[in-house]
């Protein structure tokens, strides 16, 4: 069928007026902003600041970090420049936790869970926490709720039973909570023995990324597990004996099923460490909860990921969290480096996450509609009337 010239003209106008709808959402970008050394001392105790393993943002300029193999949580304030560079770290203060564990990460407690804990404690006539945090530890392993002011352990978030089989010191290393508080995320650092081999020189591993629904947080709660492929250790020039390592060590949730995953690679050579941050999208991924093992043999089940940033900073980044937004709308990412008992300083690193504008821009549609309306009026006035004769 041949279209009338008026319709062809209108289509041309609309094509010019509307930006290409096929311009899909582009990937975010991550850039390094700067780093600072943490003080070796903090108020409220005589323990040295060492073994930092996880970090979370508490709002404003306040942050908290956990230490592995300890009973301590460290609070501090971080001043940032308008471009996200760390300018100063102050007000370092210890919080002693109720039990020592191999704590690996920390995250805000979802509001629905915090309310549930408060209601239960109020009914029992015991102290209600003002601020609740979640911490994960890999020796039990468990995700625990804690009272930030008192350090009291408030309860345990259930995790899949198979996590009890984790490899020694390669268990729950990461923890994140969605911005809307609906889901808690965690993962093992290395593959469970039933899922496949551990990471080795030239070969990665497959870990289980777990989504835990928070009761009462809205929507339709649904736990799920996803197969996440950890990249092989980085290339290095050997200096010492030993095997290289790599693993998933931190998660930061962007919401809507998207996560930032921090992978740490360590080698007995140069460079000693390489850090990678990947964007993970679970929306189209297969739920592997019913898969009891051999995930390494099922590459078709792997969740989609793309590396956004990689660098050999010379330090062992183990913790990552999203922080405040900058004046230009970009978001700060805060990472902490474990000095591993090597006598090197504990480091804090900031990065900047720039997300592309949404693929669907309502203002563009409004402008296109205005142009289209003008085009229709023009065509109506210039086209022959249906009742006219030639």
CATH architecture type of domain 51-352: 6 Propeller (2.120)
Q: What is the pTM of this model?
A: 0.84
Distance from C-alpha of 287 to C-alpha of 301, rounded to nearest angstrom: 8
Sheet of 86-101, strand order: 52-59, 62-67, 70-80, 86-101
Distance from C-alpha of 373 to C-alpha of 390, rounded to nearest angstrom: 28
**Shortest CA distance to 135 belongs to which of 79, 54, 206?**
54
The H helix count followed by the E strand count for the chain is: 3, 22
Residue 56 and residue 107 in contact, taking contact as beta carbons nearer than 8 Å: yes
Residuewise pLDDT in 10s, the chain (390 residues): 443 443 333 333 333 333 333 344 589 999 999 999 988 888 777 777 888 999 999 999 999 999 988 999 999 999 999 999 999 999 999 999 999 999 999 999 999 999 999 999 999 999 999 999 999 999 999 999 999 999 999 999 999 999 999 998 788 999 999 999 999 999 999 999 999 999 988 889 999 999 999 999 887 678 999 999 999 999 999 999 999 999 999 999 999 999 999 999 999 999 999 999 999 999 999 999 999 999 999 999 999 999 999 998 888 999 999 999 999 999 999 999 987 656 667 899 999 999 987 543 333 433 443 443 444 333 333 444 334 333
Assign residue 241 a region: left if phi > 0, alpha if psi is -120 to 50, beta otherwise? beta
CA dihedral 168, 188, 305, 218 (to 10 degrees): 180
E strand residue ranges, 49-197: 52-59, 62-67, 70-80, 86-101, 103-108, 132-137, 142-147, 153-157, 172-177, 183-188
Instruction: Give the other-Cβ count within 10 Å of 100's Cβ.
Output: 14
Instruction: Provide the residue ranges of all domains of the chain, joining segments of one domain with +.
Output: 51-352
DSSP line for 123-143: HHT-PPPSSEEEEEETTTTEE
- The residue with tokens 């991924």 is 285
**Shortest CA distance to 90 belongs to which of 380, 308, 348?**
348
**Shortest CA distance to 224 belongs to which of 299, 315, 160, 287?**
287
CA angle 110, 85, 263 (to 5 degrees): 55
């Amino acid at each position: 069928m041949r279209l009338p010239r008026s319709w062809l003209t209108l289509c041309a106008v609309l094509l010019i007026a509307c930006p290409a709808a096929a311009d899909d959402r582009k990937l975010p970008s991550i850039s390094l902003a700067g780093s600072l050394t943490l003080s070796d001392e903090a108020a409220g105790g005589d323990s040295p600041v060492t073994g930092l393993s996880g970090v979370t943002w508490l709002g404003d300029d306040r942050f908290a970090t956990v230490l592995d193999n300890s009973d301590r949580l460290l609070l501090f304030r971080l001043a940032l420049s308008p471009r996200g560079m760390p300018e100063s770290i102050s007000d370092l203060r210890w919080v002693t936790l109720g039990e020592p564990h191999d704590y690996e990460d920390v995250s805000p407690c979802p509001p629905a869970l915090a309310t549930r804990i408060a209601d239960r404690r109020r009914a029992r006539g015991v102290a209600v926490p003002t601020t609740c945090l979640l911490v994960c530890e890999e020796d039990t392993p468990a995700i625990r709720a804690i009272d930030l002011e008192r350090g009291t352990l408030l309860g345990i978030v259930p995790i899949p039973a198979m996590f009890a089989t984790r490899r020694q010191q390669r268990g729950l290393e990461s923890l994140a909570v969605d911005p809307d508080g609906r889901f808690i995320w965690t993962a093992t650092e290395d593959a469970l023995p039933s899922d496949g081999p551990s990471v080795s020189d030239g070969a990665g591993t497959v870990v289980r990324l777990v989504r835990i629904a928070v009761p009462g947080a809205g929507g339709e709660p649904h736990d799920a597990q996803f197969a996440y492929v950890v990249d092989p250790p980085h290339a290095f020039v050997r200096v010492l004996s030993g095997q290289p390592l790599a693993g998933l060590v931190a998660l930061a949730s962007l919401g809507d099923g998207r996560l930032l995953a921090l992978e740490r690679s360590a080698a007995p050579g140069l460079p000693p460490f390489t850090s990678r941050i990947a964007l993970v999208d679970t929306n189209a991924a297969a739920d592997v909860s019913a898969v009891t093992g051999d995930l390494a043999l099922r590459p078709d089940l792997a969740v989609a990921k793309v590396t956004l940033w990689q660098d050999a900073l010379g330090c062992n980044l183990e913790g990552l969290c999203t922080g405040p937004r900058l004046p230009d709308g970009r978001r700060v990412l805060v990472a902490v480096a474990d000095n591993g008992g090597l006598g090197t300083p504990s480091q804090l690193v900031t990065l900047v996450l720039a997300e592309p504008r949404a693929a669907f821009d309502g203002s563009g549609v409004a402008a296109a509609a205005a142009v289209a309306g003008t085009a229709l009026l023009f065509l109506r006035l210039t086209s022959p009337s249906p009742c006219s004769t030639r």
